[in-house]
């Protein structure tokens, strides 16, 4: 019987990074996933993900983002792939809103460069955008997007090169602690490991139930719209964008291929009971909301749909992550409840989980993400 140093449950965004870092550290590691990543059945898919430093969600994320940027650069170098594209990120909203006030706070606290645009200046600088009244814009030039599936694929291939094993299409139904090791049960095999890392995405609701942190799963919609004008393309230096409006928070990407412009709503979403209830079915009300945003704020963009997809957000009560070591189960480490804004951190979180599993500690500032805050 083989006993691994570490087993990783879930090898999507964060799990693929953890698998790579663990294998690179010399650990005997196996990664398990109920599907075959990269896939479109969880949270880490849909072509692109935003990465930005002046984080409106909370300034405490900025040190982790510095680590993440370095991690993505290292992945690009090791894989010899282009994965990060610094288009800039333009965030638009009222001065008193969550987004603009949060960006300014993070930028000021961490001395981050941002460019400010008045309501009138936004449309002049970025043709094709029509901001709502009383809105301003903040542009972070050292920001952009990541190719999500390409990042996962790169991490997994490198992990295998460093000696990692993978068991895909292998759902873990249960885990238990027996003496000084973890025992994982799947349909086809039993895995033994000294340390356990759980990056289960929406399945963390079941895998980490004993943390007693309520995790809500939202089914989110992604859309790609046909584009006939040059304004909205990456070739026109068009940035990733996020609008905070009275009707909701919308974000999107410049056109990078024939599928057109990708758009989605960051807030809202349909609550589902479990990850097993997820489907790719379309939400008509959500689509109508996004189309109304397009017609108002991006009027030169067509609302002819070229592609649709759905993914899952796994939400904590305060919409901040759960990262750390289990308070009662020694040797169990996790990243969960990423609440729809976690992929950009995957390079850093994978290293952090590797540190926790191999040394029992990390120098990264993750205290504010401890599940103990809900005790």
Name the catalytic one among 24, 34, 52, 262.
262
Spot the catalytic one: 135, 170, 297, 311. Answer: 311
pTM over 0.75: yes
- Pull the structure tokens for residue 198: 């759980």
Residue in 34, 162, 333, 344 annotated catalytic: 344
CA-to-CA dists, residue 325 to 130, 137, 234, 360, angstroms: 46, 39, 41, 9
**Per-residue DSSP letter, 255:** B
**pLDDT for position 188:** 87
Which residue shows structure tokens 């990078």? 256
pLDDT, tens only, 289-321: 999 999 999 999 999 999 999 999 999 999 999
CA distance 9 to 340: 20
What per-residue confidence (pLDDT) applies to 235?
Answer: 86
Catalytic residue check, 157: no
Q: Is 306 a catalytic residue?
A: no
Q: Which of 49, 52, 265, 320 is catalytic?
A: 49
What pLDDT does residue 375 have? 86
State the catalytic residue, choosing from 21, 24, 48, 278.
48
Q: Which domains does the chain have, with CATH numbers?
A: 3-45+149-211+318-374 (3.50.50.60), 95-141+216-315 (3.30.9.10)
- Residue 236's pLDDT is what? 85
If the chain, 375 residues long, is cut into consecutive pieces of 10 residues, what is the mean pLDDT of each piece?
A: 95 98 98 97 96 98 98 98 98 97 98 98 97 97 98 98 98 94 94 98 96 97 97 93 97 98 97 96 97 98 98 98 97 98 98 98 98 94
Closest CA to 172 of 154, 151, 190, 145: 190
Helix (H, G, I), strand (E, B) or coil at 351: helix
Q: Which helix or strand (DSSP H or E) is residue 138 part of? A: strand 136-140
Query: Catalytic pick from 21, 24, 45, 162?
Result: 45
pLDDT of residue 94: 98
Nearest to 323 by CA among 359, 274, 275, 372: 372
Decide if 266 is catalytic. yes
48 is a catalytic site residue: yes
Reduced 3-state DSSP string for 20-69? HHHHHCCCCEEEECCCCCCCCCCCCCCCEEEECCCCCCCHHHHHHHHHHH
Of 266, 278, 320, 341, the catalytic one is 266
Can 262 be counted among the known catalytic residues?
yes
Q: Is 24 a catalytic residue?
A: no
Residue 281, pLDDT score? 95
Burial of 97 (0-12, 13-18, 19+ CB in 10 A): buried
Residue indicated by tokens 């953890």: 18
């Amino acid at each position: 019987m083989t006993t691994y140093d570490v087993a990783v449950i879930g090898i999507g965004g964060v799990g693929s990074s953890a698998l790579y870092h663990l294998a690179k550290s010399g650990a005997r590691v196996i990664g398990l996933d109920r599907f075959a990543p990269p896939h479109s059945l969880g949270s880490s898919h849909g072509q692109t993900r935003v990465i930005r430093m002046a984080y409106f969600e909370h300034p405490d994320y900025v040190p982790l983002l510095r680590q993440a940027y370095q991690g993505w650069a290292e992945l690009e170098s090791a894989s010899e792939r282009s994965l990060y594209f610094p288009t800039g990120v333009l965030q638009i909203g009222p001065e008193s809103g969550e987004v603009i006030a949060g960006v300014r706070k993070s930028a000021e606290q961490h001395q981050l460069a941002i460019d400010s645009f008045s309501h009138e200046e936004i449309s002049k600088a970025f043709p094709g955008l029509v901001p709502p009244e009383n809105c301003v814009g903040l542009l972070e030039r050292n920001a952009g997007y990541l190719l999500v599936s390409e990042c996962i694929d790169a991490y997994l291939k490198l992990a295998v090169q460093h000696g990692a094993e993978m068991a895909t299409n292998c759902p873990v139904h249960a885990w238990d602690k027996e003496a000084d090791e973890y025992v994982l049960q799947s349909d086809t095999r039993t895995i033994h490991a000294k340390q356990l890392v759980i990056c289960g995405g929406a399945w963390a609701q079941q895998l980490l139930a004993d943390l007693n942190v309520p995790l809500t799963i939202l089914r989110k919609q992604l859309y790609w719209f046909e584009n006939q004008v040059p304004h909205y393309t990456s070739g026109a230096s068009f940035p990733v964008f996020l609008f905070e409006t009275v009707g909701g928070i919308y974000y999107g990407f410049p056109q990078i291929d024939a599928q057109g412009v990708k758009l989605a709503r960051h807030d809202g979403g349909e609550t589902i009971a479990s990850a097993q209830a997820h489907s790719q079915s379309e939400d008509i009300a959500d689509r109508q909301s996004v189309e109304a945003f397009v017609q108002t704020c991006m009027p030169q963009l067509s609302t002819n749909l070229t592609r649709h997809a759905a993914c899952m957000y796994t939400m904590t009560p305060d919409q901040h992550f759960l990262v750390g070591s289990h308070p009662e189960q020694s040797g169990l480490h996790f990243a969960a409840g990423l609440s729809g804004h976690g992929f950009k951190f995957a390079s850093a979180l994978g290293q952090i989980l590797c540190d926790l599993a191999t040394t029992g500690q990390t120098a990264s500032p993750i205290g504010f993400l401890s599940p103990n805050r809900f005790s």
